[in-house]
Copies of this chain bind each other. A is one copy, B any other.
Amino acid sequence: MRYGFGVDLGGTTVKIAYFDEHGTMLSKWEIPTVTTGGGQQILPDIAASIKDYMLEHDVESNEIVGIGIGVPGPVDGKGVVNKCVNLGWGVFNISEALSQLTGLNVKAGNDANVAALGEYWKGGGQGCDNMVFVTLGTGVGGGIVIDGNLLHGAHGSGAEIGHLVLNRDETDMCGCGKRGCVEQYCSATGIVRMAYKHLAATDAFSSLRNLEAITCKDIFDAGKAGDAVALEILDNYYALLGEFLADLCCVVNPEAVVLGGGVSKAGKMLIEGTQPYFQKYVFHAASNVRFELASLGNDAGAYGAFKLALDAFA
C-alpha cells in the first residue's frame, strides 16, 4: 500500500490530509496561511507540517506517491502559478518549489478545479467520467472533468464559469470588473442582490421586508413558507441558473452536474426549481444530465488534490 498528501491551500488556512492509495482519508489537520512577506513562508510551513507528520508516524518517503495541492489562482499544466493575489504570490513553479522543500513528487492545480476532481472521485460525481462541478457560494466557481481528467485550460484558467455573460445590459459591476457575469446572479451574494432589487421594485407584502439583512437561506425559507415575492425571486433565480447550466452542458455534454457551495444547501428545492428551466434552455442531445449535490463539503479540495498526485505519479 502507498500513501500521499492532499493540500487545500486557502487564504486563511491550509487544509492538509493524509490518504492511502484507495482514497481513504486517514488523517486531516489545518495550519494557518501566513500571507505576510509576499507569502514566502507558505510553502516552507506546508513542507514542515508534512515532514513532521511523516516523522511522527514513521512514514518513509518511498511509501509516498506524492503531494497534490490546490491553489487559489491559475496554475498551468507544468505547475506554474500565475499570481495568487490573496496569497501575495507572483509567477513561479509551485510544483518544483514544494518538491524541493519536501523531496516528494508534487502536482498542483487550481483549487476549484481540484475540488471538482475530489467530487468526481469520492463525492457527488462518482462514476461520471464527464462531469461539471459548480460551486454557488460567495462567488460562482467550479471545475470540469473530461474523460476522468481535469480541464486545466491553456493558462490554468479553465472552468472560470462564474464569469460567463448572462446579461449584456447589466449596469452593476462584477468583482472581476465586467458587467453581467453569472456570479452576479447565481452566487449566494447574487440571489440576495436580486432579492433587494425585486423588493425595491414592488410594494407587495413579503416577510423578507421584516429582516434587517436578507440571506440566501432567508429567501429559500420564505419561499418554502409560501411568500409570493420570495417565490418570484426564486423563480427568476432558477431561470438564470437553468440557462447557465444549460450553456455549460451544451459545451461539455456531461453525465452529471454536481452543485456545491452555500446555495446548494437548499438541496432538492434548488434542483427541482432549476430543472424545468434547464430543460427549456439545453440542447436536446445534451439534456440527459443528472443533478447531484456535492457531498464532500470542505474536504473536496484535499481529496481532489491527492487524486491529482495519484493520477500523475502512481
List the interface of chain A (C-beta within 8 A of B). Answer: 74, 77, 82, 128-130, 144, 146-147, 149, 151-161, 163-165, 168, 176-178, 181, 239, 243, 246-248, 250-255, 280-281, 283-286, 288
- By beta carbon, the residue of chain B nearest A158 is B253
A159 to B243, alpha carbons, bound, how many Å?
16
Question: In the complex, what residue of chain B is closest to A163 when comparing beta carbons?
Answer: B283
- Kindly report which residue of chain B lies nearest to residue A284, judged by CB atoms: B176
A132, closest chain B residue (CB): B251
B243–A165 CB distance below 8 A: yes
For A285, what are the chain B residues with a Cβ–Cβ distance below 8 Å?
Answer: 74, 82, 155, 157, 160
**Closest Cβ of chain B: how far from A272's Cβ, in Å?**
21
Contacts of A239 in B (CB 8 A): 168
Select A178's contact among B149, B176, B281, beta carbons within 8 Å: B281
A222 to chain B, nearest CB (A): 25
Is there an interface contact between B243 and A168, defined as CB atoms closer than 8 Å?
Answer: yes
The reply to whether B153 and A286 contact each other, CB–CB distance below 8 Å, is yes
- Which of A155, A255, A280: most chain B Cβ within 10 A? A155
**Contact at A251–B251, with CB atoms within 8 Å?**
yes
**Chain B residues closer than 8 Å to A149, beta-carbon distance:** 147
Min Cβ gap A55→B in Å is: 38
Residues of B within 8 A of A164 (CB): 246-247, 250-251
A176:B253 contact, CB within 8 angstroms: no
**Complex Cα–Cα for A155 and B254 (A):** 8
Residue in chain B with minimal CB distance to A253: B153
7 pairs, A vs B, C-beta closer than 8 Å: A82-B285, A146-B146, A154-B288, A158-B251, A160-B253, A164-B247, A248-B251
A165-B243, A285-B74, A286-B160 in contact; A251/B155 too (CB < 8 A)?
no
